Amino acid sequence: MKTESMTSSGVENLIQRLREQGVEAGQSSAEKIVLDAQKRATWIVEEAELEAKQLINNAKIQADAHQKAGEDALKLAMRDVLLKLRDTLLESFSQDVQRVVGQKMEQEAFLERLILQLAADVTQ
């Protein structure tokens, strides 16, 4: 009976030892899985932060380009308005000068004075 008890005890010890080794292996495997998951999570966060920085940089570059394009368009529009205003004012001034000169040239008294003044300037 002692042999059976010893055998039984040896089997139980073996089973216990196998359990402990299995638990240890499981714990070790679980720790490795957790460590790998933490490393993967850290890498994912770093990649996401890098991508976010790149997106922000690209957005800033695009915003600056749009702002520059808008400023250039405004400058061009302002230049066009000034040119149009100048042309309009010159045309209006030219028409006014022609009208005034035409009216004065139709006045005989003015023409007489003009001719006399020119004649006096030439004779001197």
pLDDT digits (tens, 9 = 90+) for 25-48: 778 888 899 999 999 999 999 999
Element (H, E) at 39: helix 2-106
**Residue 41 resides in a domain:** yes
**Residue 73 resides in a domain:** yes
SS3 119: helix
Token pair for 26 = 């499981």
pLDDT score recorded for residue 95: 95
pLDDT score recorded for residue 9: 74
**Residue 112 resides in a domain:** no
**Residue 99 resides in a domain:** no
**Residue 19 resides in a domain:** yes
What's the structural domain count of the chain? 1
**Residue 67 resides in a domain:** yes
**Residue 104 resides in a domain:** no
pLDDT score recorded for residue 5: 62
Answer whether residue 2 shows pLDDT above 70.
no
Report how far residue 58's alpha carbon sits from residue 56's, in angstroms, rounded to the nearest whole number: 5
pLDDT digits (tens, 9 = 90+) for 54-103: 999 999 999 999 999 999 999 999 999 999 999 999 999 999 999 998 88
Domain range for 51? 2-90
**Residue 63 resides in a domain:** yes
